[in-house]
Amino acid sequence: MKVAVIGSGYVGTTAAAIFANSGHSVVALDIDQAKVDAVNSGQAPFYEAGLNELLANAVNSKQLSATADYQKAIKDADIILSAVGTPDKPDGSSNLDYIFAAAKKAAKHLKPGAIYVQKSTVPVGTGRQIVELLPDSVHYLSNPEFLRESTAVIDTLLFDRVVVGGESQTAVDKLFKLHQSVEKHAKQIATIAGLEDKLLEIEENEGEYIAATLESTELIKVSANAFLAMKISFANSIAKLCDQTGADITEVMTAVGRDSRIGGAFLNAGRGYGGGCFPKDVSGLIASAQSNGVDLSIMTSTQLVNESMPGYIITKTSGKIGGYEDKTIAVLGLAFKSGTSDTRKSAGIKIANKLIDLGATVRVYDPEANDEATPELADTIAISASAETAVESSDAVFVTTDWPEFNDLLLSITDTIVVDCMNTYDPGSLQSSVNYVGVGRD
């Protein structure tokens, strides 16, 4: 098939690379020329494990190219995937300007019978508005992604479900066929991406293909993310109770997660969730509910707990360090999670900036996100070239992202406070002179 992908962010670039490596002719479309140039050189505009290898292979085999020209990308495409950004507005609702702008521009060049697919997360009801912008001869489908940054490639190959919503069964079946081609080439794609250790899992994977109504499909994605965010905030709420009672959150949630009705995923207490999905999807769901006269107080509480965690960890540590005035603090981790350079809603950045406000001297380091984090950091924060430089002579080390690169360093340092903001480390594995601070455990 001939596929066009509008938007070269995490979702769009991953989709373009994987569909191109599944034998399809793919054109990546973005109005940012820097992203176009990056893709055409076989490089992702961001860090994501395995993606550069897939892009380079697809570009070299001439299965993938990138352009900023809508007509060039759209006019011959059988399937057009819209994966543009939906940033949140100040009131928490989703900014759909890019969604509608992309549809309007694409509509001028769509051929009869083409399938226009919305992969970006949008509020329920958005699809009906987009349909009004497209020619009558074009089919519209919703096909949200369920990828996690840092594992986007393997999440695509080890999918648990592909959900498609729309009114044309023929179009739905054609989009399922596109995804099934990925399943057919999954082991080859994994090998190119350097994920050979996942080959057996891929062979045994039994992901489902689910067809639903347009409105249901739009709500499925945001509901899934909101529920996972709620699990994180629930664990963090219990962690606060553990701190007051002497219980250990890791023991509590490990046992809770053994209940097959609950599951252990996303029950890890820590500095809270961040990134481009959970915060935006939670606030977007709240705003969507309010616009429809529905009170989602459970999600409002989820949001409030998450926003409290950086300050909670700082306050908990303050008593052990004797306040932050004139103290030197290292913050390790600026990406919102390990394995990515994405710093959107990063707890590490929030913690670093709060520490500056409290009078500390702050040094930060991240293996992939130093440059991306710079505009969001206070001017007086020193960005270190290595983790070792950041922690040298520090009064406390806040580990805010669980990069494996930090392990050996953290296990060897002495005579300081280690604030384990994600409960990554076993306190007993640290040097005896280290004063350990965890979340819901000490």
Specify which residues 29 forms β-bridges with: 6, 67
Q: Phi/psi class of residue 32: alpha, beta or left (left: φ > 0; alpha: ψ in -120 to 50)?
A: beta
Per-residue H/E/C for the chain: CEEEEECCCHHHHHHHHHHHCCCCEEEEECCCHHHHHHHHCCCCCCCECCHHHHHHHHHHCCCEEEECCHHHHHCCCCEEEECCCCCECCCCCECCHHHHHHHHHHHCCCCCCCEEEECCCCCCCHHHHHHCCCCCCCEEEECCCCCCCCCHHHHHHCCCEEEEECCCHHHHHHHHHHHHHHHHCHHHHHHHCCCHHHHHHHHHCCCEEEEECHHHHHHHHHHHHHHHHHHHHHHHHHHHHHHHHCCCHHHHHHHHHCCCCCCCCCCCCCCCCCCCCHHHHHHHHHHHHHHCCCCCHHHHHHHHHHHHHHHHHHHHHHHHHCCCCCCEEEEECCCCCCCECCCCCCHHHHHHHHHHHCCCEEEEECCCCHHHHHHHCCCCCEECCCHHHHHCCCCEEEECCCCHHHHHHHHHCCCCEEEECCCCCCHHHCCCCCEEECCCCC
Quick check: is 421 catalytic?
A: no
Rounded CA separation 134/356 (Å) = 50
Rounded CA separation 100/133 (Å) = 8
Inter-residue contact 304 to 114 (CB < 8 Å): no
Rounded CA separation 199/425 (Å) = 30
Inter-residue contact 189 to 21 (CB < 8 Å): yes
Name the token pair of 344: 């959107």
- Catalytic position from the list 190, 230, 277, 299: 277
Which residues are designated catalytic?
277
